[in-house]
Amino acid sequence: MAEVIRALRSAEEKIRARWSLLGPLIFSSFILAALLADLISPYDPWKRFNPYQMPGWEHLLGTNDMGHDILSELIFGSRVSLAVGFSAAILSATLGTAVGLFAGYFRGMADEVLMGITDIFLMIPQIPLIIVLAAFLRPSFWLMALLMGLLWWTALARIVRSRTLQVREMGFVAGAKAIGFSDNHVIFSDVLPNTLYVIAPKFMLTVASAMIAEASISFLGLSDPSMKSWGTMISYAFSRGGFINGMWWWYLPPGLCITVFVLSLVMMAGILEERDIEPVKVD
Amino acid sequence: MRLCSENVSMSYRTGYFGKRSTILEGANLEILPGRTLGLVGGSGSGKTTLGKVLAGLERPSEGRVLFGGRDIWKMEARDFRLFRRKVQMVFQDPEGSLNPMKSIERSIQEVLSLLKVPKRDWHERTLDMLQTVGLSEELLGRRPSQVSGGQNQRIALGRVLLLEPEIIILDEPTSALDISVQAQVLHLLRELQRERGMGYLLITHSAQVVSFMAHDIAVIERGRLV
C-alpha cells in the first residue's frame, strides 16, 4: 500500500513538473513570435490579397475583408498587445513597489500620506476612466499603457507594504542599520530582494489584465487605427461583419491568442507564488 | 569610550488616540571598555529595546544616550556615523542576522565597501576576518540557510568586527545555538574582548551565560532596572 502511495506521489510530481513547463513554454513562444515577426510572418500584414478567403495553404488562417493575411496580422499584432501589457505592468510595478517600499519601511507620516494617496487612487473607477480618456484624447496604444500603469499600481503598493513591514523587523535589516548602511542601501539591497517573490506574480497578472483591457478598449473602437493589435482585429471582425457572417477564422485566432497568452501568464504567476523560497526567520 | 544611558524611557502610542504604553522607564546603564555588563530579565521586560536604544537604532522618548560624554541624538551626521561604527549590535537569531538572499561573501564584502576598503584587498580582508572568528573559506559561496547557526553567528560577529567597534551589544547571541556551539561562541567573545579591549552589553536570560561572561550584572523587570 505504501509503495502504491509513493508511486502515485511520484507520478503526481512528474505531471506537475511537466505542467509547470507549459506556462513558460507558451509565454516564450509568443515573445519569440513578437520579436521575430519580420522573419516568421508569411506576408506584410498590410498587403492586400483576395478578401474573405478561408484558411488554406496560401493563407494558413485566411484573409479578412481588406484581404489582409490573418496569420501575419496575428504575428505583428502580438507586438502591440504585448508591448501595451508589459509597458503598463512595468510602470505600475515600479510605482507600486516604490510606494509600498517607502511606506512600509519609513512608516509614520510617510506611510500615512502614501497609503492615503493609494486609497484615493483605489476609489477611482479605473476602466471607465481609461475609456473616457482614450475617447477624448488622441487614440494611442502608448497612452492606453500609460493610463493603465498610472492607475493600476495600488494593489501592488499594498502587497509590497505588507511584506516590507515584515522584512523591516527581521534581524538582518536591524543589523544593516546598526552597521551604518544608509536607508537607501537597506531598502534596495536588503528589503527589495526579499519582496521580489510577491512582486513577480502580481507583475504577471498585471500584464494579463492590461492585455485584456487593451483588447476591450480596442473592441470599443477607441484604439489607434493605424496599428494592428489582437484587440483591433476582433473589433474589425465585429464591426465589419465577421461575426454575423460566421467568418470564424477572422475573429477566433486573436481571441484564442489573448486567452492562451493570458493563461500562460496566470500559470507562471502560480508557479512563482508556489515556488519554494528560502525560509526567512522573523525575530 | 564608554557608552551610557541617562534616565532613558521609551513609550509607544498605538494610533492617535490610543493609550500610551511604557516599555522602558528611567534606565541608567554604563558600558565600559574591556568589561562585560550582563543585562538579565524575563521575556518582554525591555532588554532588547534598551539594547536598541543604546545602539542608536531607536530614539528614546525621554532621557539621553551618551557616547564619550556626548548625546548621540545631538551629534552631527558625521559624528553619528562614527558612533554607529563604534557601537555595534549582534542579534539573537543567527540565521536572520544575515540577508538570506545574499551569499556570505557578499554580506562581508558590502561592509568592506562601506568602509571604502580598496577592492583588491577585499579577499585578503575577508580571509583575515574568517580566521579571526575561526571559519574556513569554503563558506564564502554559501547562503545563510546553507550554514549552521553557530557559523552564521560567527559571520555576523565577524562583520561587526570589521568595523573595529569599541562597544558591542550582544542580544542573546547564543540562545538559538546548541550547548557545544554556545560555549565556542562565548569563548570566542571572551578572547576577542581580551585582545581588543571591547566593552560588551550582554543581553540574556541565562544565568550560566551571564556568570561566565559578565563582570557586572543589571536586572531589568517590566522596563525598570532593579
To the nearest 10°, report the CA torsion of B121, B125, B128, B130: -130
- pLDDT tens by residue, B37-50: 999 988 888 888 99
* Statement: B3-225 belongs to CATH 3.40.50.300: yes
Contact A278 B143 (CB under 8 A): yes
Evaluated on CA atoms B203, B208, B212, B218, the torsion sign reads positive
CB-based contact, A109 to chain B, within 8 Å: no
Most confidently modeled range among A161-165, B53-57, B176-180, B213-217: A161-165
Confidence of residue A95 (pLDDT cuts 50, 70, 90): very high
Mean pLDDT (chain B, rounded)? 88
Contact A179 B100 (CB under 8 A): no
- pLDDT tens by residue, A145-159: 999 999 999 999 999
Question: Is residue A279, in this structure, part of any structural domain at all?
Answer: no
Confidence of residue A2 (pLDDT cuts 50, 70, 90): confident
Domain that holds residue A198: 2-274
Question: Is residue A281, in this structure, part of any structural domain at all?
Answer: no
Query: In which residue are the cell numbers 526579499 written?
Result: A194
CB burial of A48-61 (b: ≥16 within 10 Å; e: otherwise) equals eeeebbeeeeebeb
Residue type, B218: A
What's the mean pLDDT in A51-74? 92
Confidence of residue A219 (pLDDT cuts 50, 70, 90): confident
Q: How far is CA B216 from the centre of its chain?
A: 18
* pLDDT confidence of residue B16: 66
Question: Is residue A149, in this structure, part of any structural domain at all?
Answer: yes
Question: Is residue A72, in this structure, part of any structural domain at all?
Answer: yes
Question: Is residue A280, in this structure, part of any structural domain at all?
Answer: no
Contact, A232 vs A223, CB < 8 A?
A: yes
Residue A24's CATH number: 1.10.3720.10
Domains of chain B by residue range: 3-225
Stated as kind and residue range, the H or E segment containing B21 is strand B20-31
Q: Is the pLDDT of residue B208 over 90?
A: no
Grid cell, residue A253, equals: 485566432
Total domains in the fold of chain A: 1
Beta-carbon-side half-sphere exposure of residue A88 (alpha carbons within 13 Å): 28
Q: What is the pTM of this model?
A: 0.80
Distance CA B58, CA A206 (A): 38
What's the mean pLDDT in A184-201? 92
Stated as kind and residue range, the H or E segment containing B3 is strand B3-13
Looking at A121-125, B104-108, B157-161, B177-181, which range is the least confident one? B177-181
Distance CA B42, CA A258 (A): 60
* pLDDT confidence of residue B39: 93
Question: Is residue A164, in this structure, part of any structural domain at all?
Answer: yes
Q: Is the pLDDT of residue A282 over 70?
A: no
For A175, the closest of B81, B85, B91 (CB atoms) is: B91
Grid cell, residue A254, equals: 486573436
User: In chain B, what residues touch A278 (CB-CB under 8 Å)?
Assistant: 100-101, 143, 145
* pLDDT confidence of residue A193: 92
For B99, the closest of A190, A281, A283 (CB atoms) is: A190
